[in-house]
């Protein structure tokens, strides 16, 4: 039987699960549909992903029958994406690769996609964006601009691809990307184009949605400050920030960055959203719905994945899930990662907050920790 034959039934059930609105599975831990799909996907990936099967066997799992609960599914460290090929896809089926945004001194992670897996990735990001961030029917009355380069300039950036898909889905004809790269490949923002886009939105009284990394935002805001430019963007305008600073700009606290966005652009705090995502995943988590004042304030933000992905906060001492309010390593079960790895152990620390999590920071010495796990598994 072919790969497609094995996966087609699962994909049909997964897409139906993703499309269903208001599922109790999205809020109830251990919900049966998610559990059944995750066990089915584990079986498929154990069979079709040689690198993952080797990792599982190195941890004493010789057959899929040994795993009876999603909590038992071994999570592969993200460092493994830098060390070995982790895909169910034959090499000839790969049309796109997303790489992590590490510095040039580090080998990046590589997440391979076929036409089918890229379509699933795009379905996941658009449904997650609509249901987890904007909570409104798709419409094209907003100008969407990204501070990132285009996917043509940054073809291996999952964020650049995500911004492009979102713009195509919801943006008007004035939408676009304002980022470019220098000779070393560093991402830069064009402040003049941003000012023109903002001024056009103000003149037309149309909301402006702005997507960018934290360091993109700092670069832009510093340039606006140098030029003494302040824009009072129309009501309904919003901002999304994601990712860390990665040594590419000065570092601001989250409240400090968001205060600068509000001061310079007139975007209220309840219209500034944080996104948690990475090249190794196909689903994203958000810390609030735009305009939801209940999630705005001085308390730490809480990220939530859509109902087809689930975060687990794991104790580094015993590998079990921590208690409510405790800190551990963030693992993610992402059903949209159908053709690569569903169970991913990130390099991040998080605090368990109900069905979501608070991001704390990076795990110290993640590279050696991940390599140690892989070595024990014979990878």
Q: Is pLDDT of 336 > 60?
A: yes
Q: Is pLDDT of 104 > 60?
A: no
**Is 178 exposed, middle or buried (CB count within 10 Å of its CB: 0-12, 13-18, 19+)?**
buried
Q: Mean pLDDT, to the nearest integer, of 272-287?
A: 95
Could you tell me if 321 and 312 are in contact, meaning their C-beta atoms sit under 8 angstroms apart? yes
Q: Mean pLDDT, to the nearest integer, of 100-125?
A: 85
Among residues 260, 184, 279, 259, the alpha carbon closest in space to that of 219 is found at 260
Per-residue CA distances from 102 to 99, 127, 279 (Å):
9, 28, 11
Question: Which residue in this structure is represented by tokens 């923002």?
Answer: 189
Q: Is pLDDT of 373 > 50?
A: no
Among residues 192, 189, 140, 191, the alpha carbon closest in space to that of 167 is found at 140
**Is 315 exposed, middle or buried (CB count within 10 Å of its CB: 0-12, 13-18, 19+)?**
middle
pLDDT (tens digit per residue) in 235-259: 999 999 987 655 556 777 888 999 9
Q: Is pLDDT of 291 > 50?
A: yes
DSSP string, 284-331: -EES--TT-GGG-SSSPP-BB--TTEEEEEE-TTTSSBPPTT-EEEEE
* pLDDT of 294: 56
Q: Which residue has the higher pLDDT, 3 or 88?
A: 88
* pLDDT of 23: 54
Q: Mean pLDDT, to the nearest integer, of 16-29?
A: 66
Domains parsed from the chain with CATH numbers: 3-92+305-376 (2.30.38.10), 119-293 (3.40.50.980)
* pLDDT of 156: 92
């Amino acid at each position: 039987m072919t790969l497609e034959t094995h996966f087609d039934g699962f994909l049909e059930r997964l897409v139906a699960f993703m499309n269903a609105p208001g599922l109790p599975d999205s809020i109830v831990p251990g919900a049966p549909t998610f559990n059944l799909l995750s066990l089915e996907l584990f079986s498929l990936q154990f069979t079709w992903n040689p690198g993952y099967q080797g990792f599982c066997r190195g941890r004493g799992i010789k057959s899929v029958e040994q795993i009876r609960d999603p909590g038992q599914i071994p999570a592969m460290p993200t460092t493994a994406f830098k060390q070995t090929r982790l895909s169910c896809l034959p090499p000839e089926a790969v049309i796109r690769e997303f790489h992590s945004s590490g510095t040039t001194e580090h080998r990046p992670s590589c997440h391979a996609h076929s036409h089918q897996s890229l379509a699933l990735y795009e379905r996941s990001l658009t449904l997650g964006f609509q249901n987890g961030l904007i909570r409104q029917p798709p419409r094209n009355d907003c100008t969407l601009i990204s501070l990132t380069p285009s996917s043509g300039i940054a073809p291996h950036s999952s964020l650049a691809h995500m911004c492009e898909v979102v713009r195509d889905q919801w943006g008007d004809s004035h939408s676009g990307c304002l980022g470019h790269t220098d000779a070393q490949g560093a991402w830069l923002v064009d402040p003049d184009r941003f000012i023109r886009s903002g001024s056009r939105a103000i003149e037309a009284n149309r909301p402006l949605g702005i997507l960018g990394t934290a360091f993109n935002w700092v670069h832009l805001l510093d340039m606006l400050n140098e030029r003494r430019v302040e824009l009072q963007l129309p009501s309904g305008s919003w901002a999304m920030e994601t990712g860390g600073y990665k040594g590419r700009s000065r570092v601001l606290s989250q409240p400090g960055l968001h205060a600068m966005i509000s001061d310079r652009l007139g975007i209220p705090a309840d219209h500034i959203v944080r996104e948690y995502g990475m090249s190794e995943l196909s689903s994203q988590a958000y810390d609030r719905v735009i305009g939801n004042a209940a999630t705005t304030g001085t308390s730490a933000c809480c990220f939530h994945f859509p109902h087809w992905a689930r975060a687990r906060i794991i104790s580094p001492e015993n590998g079990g899930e921590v208690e409510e309010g405790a800190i551990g390593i963030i693992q993610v079960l992402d059903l949209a990662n159908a053709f690569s790895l569903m169970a991913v152990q990130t390099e991040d620390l998080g605090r368990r907050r109900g069905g979501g999590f608070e991001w704390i920071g990076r795990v110290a010495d993640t590279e050696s920790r991940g390599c140690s796990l892989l070595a024990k598994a014979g990878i």
